[in-house]
Structure 1
Amino acid sequence: MATQYGIKFAVHLISNHFGNVVSKVCENLFHRGPLTLDQLIHYTELTKEQVKNSLLVLVQHNCAQPFVPDDDDVNNLKVRTQYVALFDNIIHRLRFPKFLETVSQRLDEECAELLDGLLRDGRLTLKQMVDRASQGKENAVDSKVVRELLCKLLTARFVERCPAPEPVVSTSFKETTIRKRGAKSAKIFVAPKTLEQCVLEAAVPRDAIRFSLTADMGLNVDEEKNSDDAQMNSVEENVAEEEQILWRANFEEFIRHLRHKVLIENVRTQHDDGTAVVLRAVLEATKTVEKKVKMQNSVPLSLDTITTEVMKTDIGRAFTIDRIRASLSQLGCSGSSIIDDSYSIDLKKIIEQARNEEVESIMLKRYGKDAYRMFRLLSKDSSFLDTDKIAACTLVEPKKASKFLHQLWNDNYLHKETVTGVMVGKPSNIFLWKVNQPLLWINVLDEMYHAALNLSIRMAYEQEKNEELLNVPKDKLKEPGPLQKKYKRLQNVWLLLGASLMKLDDALMLFHDF
């Protein structure tokens, strides 16, 4: 979900990439919801031309999606196109280097170069890709070469056709509402879908078209009866249509790939390489039938299917059936989890465990060992525990335990209930504590967005402060002296901030995208 600092971070990214005018339009879409062109002009106090160009930029780079609410009267031409900001797509701009690395590893550098153009320019036709690939080269790149690379990216689903320009979307539902604190704060009321999700689902074409390079080659009955001229005309029309098709990076597939990578690495850390190989095999065997990125369980597979996939790897060829069964058991596929020799892995549990470990790491660094032990105790117990019991189980003095627990509660890491009891004939309050994971994760996610915003602002500040240095010719920077030292210091700062931001983004994906 888009938290308070999440929205601020998204607006900052847009400001960094496209300037303050575009970010002002984007910020209004976030804070006011879907708006028409006229409404944006009114709220932003920008000119019509500025708002129109800003919307074109946002749509071109997949950061906004136009749609038509279904309550508009389409037949009477009273259609009022509205625009919704796509929070996830904006945050994905932070992950472009990871997407390029994924394509380099899974396919090749040529495909990564083609994808780089789509990530930089947003939406491109095949002709525009060819023109871009030919820039700076003596001979123009053959369109057939670019077409083959695009086919490879489409087969791997790393690229897709752009969605419908203005889908008709129902807006008759309520957004998600969350109570953060209070007597009923343990309850979370979640709407089935957000407006952003509804707009995206309505706009996306079906898979047969979404990942198809060629236009519809079918001929009607009359054309089949005619000579080859009809077929030639159809092919020519097809080629012309292909040149008009817009393509973009498929962020959904990249996030799915990165999620699989996190699942495998966490299993490797918790168990061993063999169990990670089996999980990888299960995910590889089911990736073509996955419909959602955030799948709670893997698609059920037979032992034979899993074994066949495991045997495709060098390590897996040494595995026996018993070894594979043992790994599946470690992954939670035992007893009632196995139905008719069908195995399904609880992926949600692996992600939740990784989230818990991330939060516990924050606890240890921020509050110390005593608070860490108390939080770890509460996170493993779904019931409420009183202060004395927590103090006794973690070997912490009751007064000290109470102080830490209230501090964690004030920072939105714990949920508290107060019960009135009687101590030595006098009424007294007994505090009960519990970890409410969904609300905790939202709070942690917002803190991470805040940290990412601060890192990004610092990087922008360093660039602005050293603007004169960056304009110095590179030859002079190679010469020993004060300028070279200053430039090396700037490079080290950028590397440190950039690496910290990428590492933080791994945690952001864990809590938001996975």
Structure 2
Amino acid sequence: MASPYGIQLAVHIISAFYGDLCSKVCECLIRRGTQSLAQIIRFTDLNRENAINCLRVLIHQNCVQAFTIQQDAVFGEPPRMVTQYMALFDNVIHKLRAPKFYEIVSEELGKDCLVIFQGLVQHGRLSVNDMIAGYADIEGSSENVGRESFTKLVNARFVEHCPAPDPHLEPPVVDEKGKKKKTQVEEPPLDQRVLAAAAPMESMRFFLEMDDHSEEKGNETTTSVRSGQKRKQDEGELDADKKKEVLWRVNVEEFLRRLRHKACIAHVKSKINEEAAIVLSAMLELSKQSESGLKAEKSEYLSINAIYDEVIKKEGGLGMDFERVRSLLDQLGCETLSTGMDESYCIDIKEIIELSQNEEVESLVMRRYGPEAYRIYRLLSKAGRLMETEKISDSTFVEKKATIAILYKLWKDDFLQMEHVKTSTAKQSDFRLWTINKEQLQKQVLNEMYHAALNLKLRIAHEKDQAKEVIKLPKDKLVGESNTKYVRWANVTRILESCLMDLDDAIMLFHHF
């Protein structure tokens, strides 16, 4: 379940991009969970046509996933297949990150690829032919150049096949009494089951030649409805007019992986040195193709020869010798595996992310509560256990009265947890023990970050509304006071958007990495 301000931010993003009606549908699905078309109509007060059109837009923009599931028999009627709709909260928030994605594509693949990629981000889902035709219209270039550029995007795994439009979920297995059977393996949550059922096979996600197949084969690839199954018309046939070409979308996972690596490198650079960051960059570059999913906790074991060969290819790495690389690997805390003459190293990516998260929270405590509170929070964070007030005061060299005041303030703002203990000795005493629940605290900090991001988005929208008259003026008409207003709007917007991008780095650190 998304946090309160996370929901508000998602709704604002959808409203800004696709209008208030779509934001109503999105909010209904995020707050209430998966819903049928009839339920969406009831809870949003939209008519059937508007609800269907909104769902079409949201599905095409990868913000909603449809799926079919068998509904239990009621009032003597047989079980029937029902289409349900599920909001994809993360995909909505990813729309904030388009500038980051553009920068990566531009730096790595160049302008031609960026033009095609921008079209795909704007439209959500497109066929190869549509993307290439759009590129030719914009650039006035040949379709062959567009096709080559798209192939580069596929090879870099920046784009992937779209998921199935409406996968079928099998109902839970029940026993003779109609109760759900217990299994040894715990069943994943519904959203994970839906996404897994909709996802194309790994071998097909980046299979470009598929678009050269016949339309009939292409249609078989992009749908998971089984032969013999009949869709119910009263559930809204949203994809009745869908194209039969293979559709593509942005592969957000690849961009998040690269941004995750960038965050790890930046942390090591600031905490150790630039040379250590170069060695870490080399290890991540070598291991990225073998990572199992975005949140791989560790890299694979890499031989020191391969690491060294990759290090000297990088800017600033040519002057390092074997011993220097080995020393830096030790500073990075790499695990070592020695087999005969071979020497291999593995880096714990998860540990670097956790250190970055701790540093972000500690920085927040410093800014909000001051250096004494920072010392107290850092002590409890490193201790990882309950500590008594007097011991905290002694360890941080903060006066006991001030320590108590700080602890209560942090506790009141949910940065700490307190346990009240009474001793049953002859001289009865009360103790207050303090600790940090990092998981709960990170959720709270993330919610505050969503709140800050929402405020920035609202301020950007407000500034645009205030300057709408001068924004519409042609450049040759921007003189005197009009030019002053335009320059002010441009400068303020640039600063606000830069702050939003920096804040989004922290959001990704706590939610996606």
Q: TM-score, normalised by structure 2?
A: 0.86
Partner of 1:117: 119
Partner of 2:51: 51
Partner of 1:179: none
Partner of 2:251: 250
Encode CA deviations 1:109-130: one digit per residue, 9 max, x unaligned: 2111111001111111122112
Secondary structure in 2 matching 1:214: helix
User: Hey, what's the Cα distance between the residues in 1 that align with 2:306 and 2:7?
Assistant: 44
Note if contact 2:136-2:146 (Cα within 8 Å) is conserved in structure 1: no
User: Hey, what's the Cα distance between the residues in 2 that align with 1:342 and 1:292?
Assistant: 22
User: Hey, what's the Cα distance between the residues in 2 that align with 1:240 and 1:110?
Assistant: 29
User: Hey, what's the Cα distance between the residues in 2 that align with 1:513 and 1:101?
Assistant: 19
Q: Which sections of structure 2, spanning at least 5 residues, go unmatched?
A: 174-185, 222-243
- Distance verdict in 2 for CA 1:81–1:146, change over 3 Å: same
Secondary structure in 1 matching 2:498: helix
Note if contact 1:297-1:346 (Cα within 8 Å) is conserved in structure 2: yes
Encode CA deviations 1:24-67: one digit per residue, 9 max, x unaligned: 00000011111111111111110111111101111111111111
Post-superposition shift, 1:501? 0.8
- Distance verdict in 2 for CA 1:464–1:216, change over 3 Å: closer
Post-superposition shift, 1:406? 1.0
Secondary structure in 1 matching 2:314: coil
Post-superposition shift, 1:240? 10
Encode CA deviations 1:402-453: one digit per residue, 9 max, x unaligned: 1111111111111111111379x65342111111111111111011001111
Secondary structure in 1 matching 2:165: coil
* Structure 2 letter corresponding to 1:195: L
Note if contact 1:114-1:133 (Cα within 8 Å) is conserved in structure 2: yes
User: Hey, what's the Cα distance between the residues in 1 that align with 2:136 and 2:217?
Assistant: 24
Partner of 2:423: 421
Identity of aligned residues (%): 44
Encode CA deviations 1:476-500: one digit per residue, 9 max, x unaligned: 21x1x22222222222221121111
* Structure 2 letter corresponding to 1:462: E
User: Hey, what's the Cα distance between the residues in 2 that align with 1:240 and 1:172?
Assistant: 29
Post-superposition shift, 1:77? 8.8
- Verify: 1:17 aligned to 2:17, yes or no: yes
Note if contact 2:11-2:26 (Cα within 8 Å) is conserved in structure 1: yes
* Structure 2 letter corresponding to 1:50: N
Post-superposition shift, 1:237? 7.9
| 2:351 maps to which of 332, 349, 358 | 349
Partner of 2:179: none
465-474 vs 323-332, which deviates more?
Answer: 465-474
* Structure 1 letter corresponding to 2:482: L
Secondary structure in 1 matching 2:52: helix
User: Hey, what's the Cα distance between the residues in 1 that align with 2:187 and 2:467?
Assistant: 48
Note if contact 2:264-2:349 (Cα within 8 Å) is conserved in structure 1: yes
Secondary structure in 2 matching 1:291: coil
Q: TM-score, normalised by structure 1?
A: 0.86
* Structure 1 letter corresponding to 2:402: K
Partner of 2:165: 165
Partner of 2:316: 315
User: Hey, what's the Cα distance between the residues in 1 that align with 2:64 and 2:308?
Assistant: 44
Encode CA deviations 1:294-327: one digit per residue, 9 max, x unaligned: 1111122222332332233243333322222112
Q: What is the aligned residue count?
A: 472
- Verify: 1:201 aligned to 2:200, yes or no: no
Partner of 1:496: 495
Counterpart mapping for 1:52-71 below 5 A:
52-69=52-69
- Distance verdict in 2 for CA 1:506–1:314, change over 3 Å: closer
Partner of 1:4: 4
- Distance verdict in 2 for CA 1:449–1:470, change over 3 Å: same
380-389 vs 317-326, which deviates more?
Answer: 317-326
Partner of 2:269: 268
Aligned residues: CA RMSD? 2.5
Secondary structure in 1 matching 2:383: coil
Partner of 1:446: 447
Secondary structure in 2 matching 1:443: helix
* Structure 2 letter corresponding to 1:209: M
Q: Which sections of structure 1, spanning at least 5 residues, go unmatched?
A: 174-190, 218-233
Encode CA deviations 1:73-101: one digit per residue, 9 max, x unaligned: 9xx89321111111111100000000010
User: Hey, what's the Cα distance between the residues in 2 that align with 1:66 and 1:241?
Assistant: 18
User: Hey, what's the Cα distance between the residues in 2 that align with 1:84 and 1:412?
Assistant: 31
User: Hey, what's the Cα distance between the residues in 2 that align with 1:323 and 1:70?
Assistant: 62
User: Hey, what's the Cα distance between the residues in 1 that align with 2:196 and 2:320?
Assistant: 42
- Distance verdict in 2 for CA 1:143–1:239, change over 3 Å: farther
Note if contact 2:63-2:88 (Cα within 8 Å) is conserved in structure 1: yes
| 2:372 maps to which of 370, 373, 376 | 370
Partner of 2:154: 154
Note if contact 2:6-2:451 (Cα within 8 Å) is conserved in structure 1: yes
User: Hey, what's the Cα distance between the residues in 2 that align with 1:172 and 1:429?
Assistant: 51
* Structure 1 letter corresponding to 2:504: D
User: Hey, what's the Cα distance between the residues in 1 that align with 2:465 and 2:132?
Assistant: 35
User: Hey, what's the Cα distance between the residues in 2 that align with 1:171 and 1:447?
Assistant: 38
Secondary structure in 1 matching 2:364: helix
User: Hey, what's the Cα distance between the residues in 2 that align with 1:170 and 1:236?
Assistant: 28
Encode CA deviations 1:238-284: one digit per residue, 9 max, x unaligned: 89999811111100100000001111111111112221121111111
Secondary structure in 1 matching 2:291: coil
Note if contact 1:215-1:241 (Cα within 8 Å) is conserved in structure 2: no
Note if contact 1:96-1:119 (Cα within 8 Å) is conserved in structure 2: yes
User: Hey, what's the Cα distance between the residues in 2 that align with 1:313 and 1:492?
Assistant: 36
User: Hey, what's the Cα distance between the residues in 2 that align with 1:362 and 1:447?
Assistant: 11
Partner of 1:512: 511
- Verify: 1:330 aligned to 2:325, yes or no: no
- Distance verdict in 2 for CA 1:172–1:386, change over 3 Å: farther
- Distance verdict in 2 for CA 1:119–1:212, change over 3 Å: same
Note if contact 1:214-1:238 (Cα within 8 Å) is conserved in structure 2: no
Note if contact 1:72-1:79 (Cα within 8 Å) is conserved in structure 2: no
